[in-house]
Chains A and B, each alone.
Chain A
Amino acid sequence: MKLPKQTVAQRFHIRFFGGLIILLVLLIASNNFLKLDFGALIQNFDQFLALFKEMMHPDWKSAPFVVQPMLETIQMALIGTTLGTLLAIPAAIIAARNVVTNKWITGFVRIIFNMIRTLPDLLLAALFVAIVGIGPYAGVLTLTIFSFGMITKLFYECIETIDNGPLEAILTTGGKRSAMVMFAILPQVSSRFISYILYTFEINVRASTVLGYLGAGGIGQQLQTSLSQFRYDQTAVIILAILIMVLAIDGLSNFARERLQ
């Protein structure tokens, strides 16, 4: 019996052990570099307790003023997710290797999309606040780019897992590539696409609370104001409101995603 030769890498499981060693080295190196001082964390504990005590008396009268910025946060997430998705669908189709067979094109657009995805959302927010000024507009732009990067990757990877047989079948009817997308690709991916969009929306709601902190509108901006004015009683209300909002949206979206399967 003659088995095909294994490569050296296959024989010694180079990838697995190599990965493990790199991970360990990185862990040790980053710990030495940061010199994490867990002692300080414990020493400062009483400060944390003091803050916590103040927050135990929430200023309930401020609750109505939370509603408006909270809606703004949700709107920002909603618009950002929608715009990001609309841009991501054509982008993902161009990046999918089973749709566009030219490797130069898919390779090139992937590099661009990867670069967009590596931009952290906080950096984007700081950038857009500088460009368009403080307010929800900056937040929406940030979330659009952020969602675009994330959804594009999820989408093109999803498109690459579909059954390619029907795509060929459409070509043999004399249909165009666009007809192939509409008849053979979208029906195969639509339920997973919706699930990804909901998931991105969940992340965007959470992200947009933080973005507000940088002046990009929404509830985060109010959080920042209350903290800078040492109104921890109002901070407590805002944090509670954010918690409820995030839980509610996660719950709804999880429910919807489960129904999709």
Chain B
Amino acid sequence: MTKPELKPVIDVQHVSKVYENGTNGLTDINLQIKPGEFVVIVGLSGAGKSTLMRSLNRLHQVTEGHVLIDGQSITEAKGRNLRRLRRDVAMIFQNFNLVKQSTVLRNVLAGRLGYYPTWQSSLGLFKEADKQRAYKALERVNLLDKVYQRVDQLSGGQQQRVAVARAFVQDPKIVLADEPTASLDPKTAHLVMNDLKSMNQELGKTVVANLHSVALAKEYGTRIIGLRAGRIVYDEQIQDVTDVDLADIYNDGSLVGEDQ
């Protein structure tokens, strides 16, 4: 599906990350992701999936290397430039990261904060077009009837779909999802994954998702990347992925399971 001549929308060049306490988060990561891909990153917990993802939008500062978003370095960007680049990279979190005391609408409109000066957004002076955008996003995730409710009155699955709506209205080029389904039941997990899929297929967003579940990875990904101990150990298009490969990524060379 991905045409080889397309320029990468995410270009990770020789990225390493050492945490302040000396832990190696990532070691010499090189990775190009083309527009329109649905990349799933798999690996044991502690493999560095979150670290990699948070290096892409610079929630983490990398120790070495560069990350280019659509050709521009986000690792060196400052102030306004950094905010512009971040606006193009929405993120969905395992814990939703909504403001629970605020309404659904206010949380969804927060996706537009990169487009407004603070005085205007604080006073709730969002443009009518942006409010319509928020309603439409909520309709997509089937939560339009909850628009004026406080977020803490919603179930976990509903909260994650509000977070998806927030990413919708942000209108990014890239959507990052860090274990978006880890705290959801299987049925809701599929709903959220379908939301991501429709962003990818209907709206053409590039999606990068960390997933714990091999089944979901195979069902939704167009490309699977395996991480182990901070290094990329696997990178294949979905049609070339075998169950043996996946089992291998999760087999750390020892007999013990995931929680080790």
Contact = CB atoms under 8 A, between A and B. Distances in A.
A92 to B, nearest CB: 18
B98 interface: yes
Contacts of B87: 173-174
Interface string B41-62: 0000000000000000101000
B90 A173 contact: yes
A165 B95 contact: yes
Interface stretch (B8-16, B28-36, B104-112, B183-191): B104-112
Contacts of A172: 57, 59, 86, 89-91
B118 interface: yes
A183 B86 contact: no
Given A173-B90, A173-B166, A179-B113, A188 B121 contact: no
Nearest to A166: B99
B153 to A, nearest CB: 15
Interface in B66-87: 83-87
B100 to A, nearest CB: 8
A119 to B, nearest CB: 34
A175 B114 contact: yes
A243 interface: no
Nearest to B118: A178
B61 to A, nearest CB: 11
Contacts of B112: 173
Contacts of A184: 99, 110
Contacts of A191: 101
A169 interface: yes
B194 interface: no
B59 A171 contact: yes
A174 to B, nearest CB: 3
Contact of B106 (A169, A175, A183): A183
A182 B118 contact: yes
B242 interface: no
Contact of B111 (A168, A173, A176, A178): A173
Contact of A174 (B93, B114, B122, B166): B114
Given A179-B121, A182-B118, A174 B98 contact: no
Given A174-B113, A188-B99, A188-B101, A169 B91 contact: yes
B97 interface: yes
Contacts of B98: 166, 169
A178 B121 CA distance: 10
A179 B122 contact: yes
Contacts of A169: 91, 93, 97-98, 110, 163, 166
A193 to B, nearest CB: 12
A89 interface: no
B206 interface: no
B170 interface: yes
- Most chain B CB inside 10 Å of its own CB: which residue of A163, A175, A183: A175
Interface in A154-188: 163, 165-166, 168-176, 178-179, 182-184, 187-188
B114 A187 contact: no
A241 to B, nearest CB: 40
B102 interface: yes
B95 A175 contact: no
A191 B13 CA distance: 46
A169 B59 CA distance: 10
Given A172-B86, A172-B89, A172-B91, A165 B97 contact: yes
Contacts of B96: 165
A170 B115 CA distance: 12
22 contacts: A166-B97, A168-B93, A168-B97, A171-B86, A173-B86, A173-B111, A173-B112, A173-B114, A173-B170, A174-B85, A174-B115, A174-B170, A175-B113, A176-B83, A179-B113, A179-B116, A179-B118, A179-B122, A183-B102, A183-B110, A183-B121, A188-B100
User: Which 6 residue pairs across A and B have the least CB separation, nearest first?
Assistant: A174-B114, A174-B87, A175-B113, A165-B97, A169-B97, A178-B118
